[in-house]
Amino acid sequence: MNVTKKINVPQLIFKYSKRLVSEANFTIQEPFRLHRLEKGPLTKVTLTKQDALTYYKKMSTIRRVENTSANLYMEKVIRGFCHLYAGQEAVAVGIQATMRPDDCLITAYRAHGWVLLMGGSPEQILGELCGRVIGCSRGKGGSMHTYAKNFFGGNGIVGAQIPMGTGIGLMMKLTGKPNVSFALYGDGAANQGQVFEAYNLAKLWNLPVIFVCENNKYGMGTSAERASAVPEFYTRGDYIPGIQVDGMDVLATREASLFAIAHCISNRGPILLEMVTYRYYGHSMSDPGTSYRSRNEVQDIRKNKDPITLFKDKILGANLVSEEEIKQLDNETKKIIEEATAKVRAAPVPGPEELVADVYKKPVTPNVRGVNPWRTLKHIQITKPK
């Protein structure tokens, strides 16, 4: 007797490809914590495919440049100070995504990612770290002194960039420019007296300054809880409104920055954003970063909270991008950084004749006094690489 076998449809295997969408909606998971604000940034946001690819590429480029920098430092090609930004990429990329052409930004010495975002190339930042003439400051500034258009550094003195960023905001107000000044600092610098002086003047004069505390949990070797009586840095401006933001979520940092810009340009004065993030390397390359935190802690953050991995999973899960597109971007980024590294290794270092070059943009006198008052050094003007 013939028996017809019943087939369950779910057992059939269909070959199909996921249909990609041009935009997707997301809900920001970590809530924004507010200080002196009734409403905060949007928590339900839209992301386009193009923006998804752009954010992913920028974060991946920063990460690869920083990992390359770590390797060059261990090879002793990079010497001196070197503070890496790996782990904090979502903060910079989210903020930069909201900046208008004439908005300005100033930060501390953990600034390599910002050079890339503000117009510098991988070979310019790697060249600067390696002391080569193709660096953004011709190899004479190093890790702590890097600049680009509307980017005022890269500053070595802890917290000193905050009064300067406030001054940029004052310039914008006096000239009537409808722009903002982003002033970034770390949780360690948050206890500097000059930071509170800058808060006071910014609020007193109603300046369009966005103070951004990148709370990566540790100062030079001390946790924020051990160094700060009030580790809720978004409240530290007192009379200045503040928002605590998940700094590992690029969409959260983007929305918080958009909210902050709208706040400032509506003549409501300064605002403070605390970006809760994490650094993977030590305070600097001379710090192993394991005496005040455990290796398990770092590995846990890398595994469960990495900003690049989280964002990749998010955009893949929403069918905004495909695995092939991600792989192609990764390969492109890898090739760009490898080529830049090769150029940097082959580039010359600045000669002794450049010792007093670029000290002034327009020198009043052609000669500069050296250590010997009877022998002067001649100022020369160097054309920086484009």
> Given this model, what pLDDT does residue 74 score?
96
CA 39 from centre of chain = 26
Q: Where are the alpha helices (DSSP H) in the chain?
A: 49-74, 89-96, 112-117, 122-129, 161-175, 193-204, 224-227, 250-263, 295-304, 307-317, 323-346
Confidence of residue 354 (pLDDT cuts 50, 70, 90): confident
Stated as kind and residue range, the H or E segment containing 33 is strand 33-35
What number is the average pLDDT over the span 125-154?
Answer: 93
pLDDT tens digits, one per residue of 126-136: 999 999 999 99
DSSP state of 22: S
What number is the average pLDDT over the span 336-349?
Answer: 98
CA distances from 245 to 39, 85, 97, 188, 260 (A): 14, 18, 16, 18, 12
pLDDT tens digits, one per residue of 281-311: 999 999 999 999 999 999 999 999 999 999 9
Q: Is 293 exposed, middle or buried (0-12, 13-18, 19+ CB in 10 A)?
A: middle
From CA 130, how far away is CA 139, in angstroms rounded? 7
Mean pLDDT (the chain) is: 92
DSSP state of 69: H
Phi first, then psi, for residue 271 (nearest 5°) are -145, 155
pLDDT tens digits, one per residue of 241-272: 999 999 999 999 999 999 999 999 999 999 99
Confidence of residue 382 (pLDDT cuts 50, 70, 90): confident
- Tell me which architecture the domain covering 41-350 has in CATH: 3-Layer(aba) Sandwich (3.40)
pLDDT at position 277 over 60: yes
Angle of helix 323-346 relative to helix 122-129, nearest 10 degrees? 40
pLDDT tens digits, one per residue of 34-43: 999 999 999 9
CA distances from 15 to 18, 21, 321 (A): 10, 19, 19
Q: Higher-confidence residue: 256 or 359? A: 256
What number is the average pLDDT over the span 126-154?
Answer: 93
Return the percentage of the chain with pLDDT > 70, whole number. 94
pLDDT at position 11 over 90: no
> Given this model, what pLDDT does residue 18 score?
63
Are the C-beta atoms of 211 and 271 separated by less than 8 Å? yes
> Given this model, what pLDDT does residue 374 score?
84
pLDDT at position 94 over 80: yes
What number is the average pLDDT over the span 315-338?
Answer: 98
From CA 313, how far away is CA 352, in angstroms rounded? 50
> Given this model, what pLDDT does residue 14 score?
33
Structural domain boundaries of the chain?
41-350, 356-385
pLDDT tens digits, one per residue of 166-217: 999 999 999 999 999 999 999 999 999 999 999 999 999 999 999 999 999 9
pLDDT at position 1 over 50: no
pLDDT at position 15 over 50: no
